[in-house]
């Protein structure tokens, strides 16, 4: 059921088998599996998943390559709800370990927000990451192209950039290294540093040896129309023509609600075992948030693994028969 402020009281009175934080590709996949294992599940999602910004999902088996990310999300939510799962649009602020249960402190409503506590035996962190974008005075100008032909994912969209004149927008020398794998797809690459970091001699010579260019003047705005970026105007008025672009500026990890748990991490990503379990036995992590490949197919597969392991844990902790379970204690 889609929960609202009016209908969520009965949900705060029960203990869910699993609460999933995040209703993107990973969270929805986990939710569908859990409901099909006849486990009661709540997905809490603040919206605007990474998949929401994905204008076209190009590489998912069985779906046409122009399938918008938001269609996948809509269809996934309908599927989850049709199996009797609970879904709440809200923001998880904090998780507290109570021993037998985990308690989630949740903010409901952007305006006139109210706070509620939900309890669960298991938690799946499926809250993903979000890409940093170039900071321009007019951010509307960035959103006009980001996710269209101004890409954020080389794995997803290298194919779309093949043999094209590509601008790479990086925020550090480490992020600028993306020009080398991008060189598999095209040799027409211009690196834009925006003057934000220094390109040392070693990196500069590796880049220029490949025939790539480096522009260090900051960008005034992206140029183009109908969501198709055709170049950039620099702050000195110079125009650089491009056919497409790749942003490589790092990501923000959506996992502050787990800070107290001190879970094992690699970079910002949560480390898990092969069934997506973190260093806490009742917390799983799936999709972009965990160490792995940031792809829809991987997030969906992670969801299947985490849900299956939770089902095994619950099944093995009792008699193995569902009828003997004390549900909603
Ligand atoms: C522009 C773009 C194009 C892409 N193209 C492709 C492609 O062609 N093919 C491909 O396979 N992949 C592509 N990707 C990558 C793909 O979108 C991700 O790998 C995938 O969405 C990861 O799924 P997820 O479930 O881990 O996270 P997400 O889809 O990001 O979902 C996480 C959800 O959790 C929510 N959330 C975060 N914090 C909280 C909180 N505290 N409380 C409640 N909710 C919270 C977020 O709002 C979000 O709704 C693309 C990504 C982008 C940005």
Is the beta carbon of 285 within 6 A of some atom in ligand 1? no
| Residue 324 in this model has a pLDDT that exceeds 70 | no
- On the question of pLDDT at 320 being above 90, the answer is no
Give pLDDT, residue 329: 38
Averaged confidence pLDDT in the chain: 94
Residue 136 CB–ligand 1 contact under 6 Å? no
Mean pLDDT of 268-286: 97
pLDDT at 319: 72
Residue 54 Cα to ligand 1 midpoint, Å, equals 9
Pocket lining: 53 vs ligand 1, CB cutoff 6 Å: yes
Q: Do domains 2-130+251-324 and 133-248 have the same CATH topology?
A: yes
Query: In the prediction, which pLDDT does 326 show?
Result: 53
Residue 119: its H or E element = strand 114-125
Q: Please state, for a pLDDT cut of 70, what percent of the chain lies above it.
A: 98
Assign 173 to helix, strand or coil: helix
**What local confidence, expressed as pLDDT, does residue 198 receive?**
94
Work out the pLDDT band at 11, boundaries 50, 70, 90.
confident
Domain boundaries, the chain: 2-130+251-324, 133-248
Per CATH, which fold does 133-248 belong to? FAD/NAD(P)-binding domain (3.50.50)
Whole-angstrom Cα distance, residue 170 to residue 18?
A: 39
- Return the minimum-mean-pLDDT range out of 20-24, 181-185, 317-321: 317-321
Instruction: Give 315 Cα–ligand 1 centroid separation in angstroms.
Output: 30
Q: What is the mean pLDDT of residues 176-195?
A: 97
Mean pLDDT of 36-61: 92
Distance 304 CA to ligand 1 centre (A): 16
Is 28 near ligand 1, meaning CB less than 6 Å away? no
Assess whether the C-beta atom of 287 lies below 6 angstroms from ligand 1. Answer: yes
Shortest-distance atom of ligand 1 to CA 56: 8
Which atom of ligand 1 is found nearest the CA of 288? 26
Question: If you average pLDDT over residues 141-150, what whole number do you get?
Answer: 94
CB 116 within 8 Å of CB 8: yes
- CA pair distance 265, 278, nearest whole angstrom: 9
Report DSSP letters for 217-237, one per residue: SPEEEEEEETTEEEEEEETTS
Q: Compare 128 and 54 and report the one with higher pLDDT.
A: 128
The rounded Å distance from CA 319 to ligand 1 centre is 37
Separation of 241 CA from ligand 1 center, angstroms?
A: 30
**Does the pLDDT value for residue 328 go beyond 50?**
no
Q: Is a pLDDT exceeding 60 seen at residue 134?
A: yes
Average confidence (pLDDT) over 15-44: 97
Comparing 50-59, 227-236, 254-263, 265-274, the range with the smallest average pLDDT is 50-59
Domain 2-130+251-324, CATH class in plain words = alpha beta
* Per-residue pLDDT band at 316 (split at 50, 70, 90): very high
pLDDT digits (tens, 9 = 90+) for 52-90: 888 899 999 999 999 999 999 999 999 999 999 999 999
Q: What is the mean pLDDT of residues 103-119?
A: 94
| Percent of the chain surpassing pLDDT 90 | 88
- Grade residue 179 by pLDDT with cuts at 50, 70 and 90: very high
Q: Would you tell me how many other CB atoms lie within 10 Å of the CB of residue 227?
A: 14
pLDDT at residue 102, rounded to an integer:
98
For ligand 1, atom 6, name the residue with the nearest CA.
156
**How far is the centre of ligand 1, averaged over its atoms, from the C-alpha of 52 (Å)?**
7
Lowest pLDDT segment from 137-146, 158-167, 293-302? 137-146
21 lines ligand 1 (CB under 6 A): yes
Q: Which two tokens stand for residue 166?
A: 């590509």
Q: Does the pLDDT of residue 239 top 50, yes or no? A: yes
Question: Strand 265-266 vs strand 269-270: parallel, antiparallel, or unpaired?
Answer: antiparallel
Residue found under tokens 């940031």: 294
Q: Is 24 in the pocket of ligand 1 (CB under 6 A)?
A: yes
Question: Which pLDDT belongs to residue 321?
Answer: 78
């Amino acid at each position: 059921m889609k929960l609202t402020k009016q209908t969520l009281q009965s949900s705060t009175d029960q203990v869910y088998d699993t609460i999933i934080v995040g209703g993107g590709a990973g969270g929805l996949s986990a939710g569908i599996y859990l409901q099909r294992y006849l486990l009661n599940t709540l997905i809490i999602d603040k919206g605007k998943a990474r998949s929401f910004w994905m204008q076209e999902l190009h590489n998912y088996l069985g779906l046409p390559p122009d399938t918008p990310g938001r269609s996948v999300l809509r269809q996934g939510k309908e599927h989850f709800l049709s199996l009797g799962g609970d879904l709440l649009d809200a923001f998880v602020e904090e998780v507290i370990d109570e021993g037998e249960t985990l308690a989630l402190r949740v903010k409901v409503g952007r305006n006139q927000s109210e706070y509620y506590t939900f309890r669960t035996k298991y938690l799946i962190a499926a809250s993903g990451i979000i890409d940093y974008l170039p900071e321009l005075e007019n951010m509307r100008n960035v959103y006009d192209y980001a996710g269209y032909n101004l890409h954020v994912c080389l794995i997803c969209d290298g194919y779309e950039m093949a043999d094209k004149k590509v601008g790479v927008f990086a925020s550090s020398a480490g992020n600028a290294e993306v020009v080398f794998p991008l060189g598999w797809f095209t040799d027409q690459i211009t690196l834009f540093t925006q003057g934000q970091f220094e390109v040392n001699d070693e990196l500069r010579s590796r880049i220029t040896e490949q025939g790539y260019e480096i522009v260090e003047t900051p960008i005034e705005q992206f140029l183009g129309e109908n969501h198709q970026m055709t170049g950039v105007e620099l702050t000195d008025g110079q125009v650089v023509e491009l056919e497409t672009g790749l942003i490589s500026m790092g990501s923000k990890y959506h996992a502050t609600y787990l800070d107290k748990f001190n879970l094992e991490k690699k970079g910002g990503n949560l480390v898990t075992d092969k069934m997506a379990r973190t260093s806490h036995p009742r917390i799983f992590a799936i999709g972009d948030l965990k160490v792995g490949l940031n792809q829809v197919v991987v997030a969906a597969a992670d969801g299947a693994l985490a849900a299956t392991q939770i089902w095994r844990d619950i099944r093995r902790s009792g008699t193995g028969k569902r009828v003997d379970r004390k549900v909603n204690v």
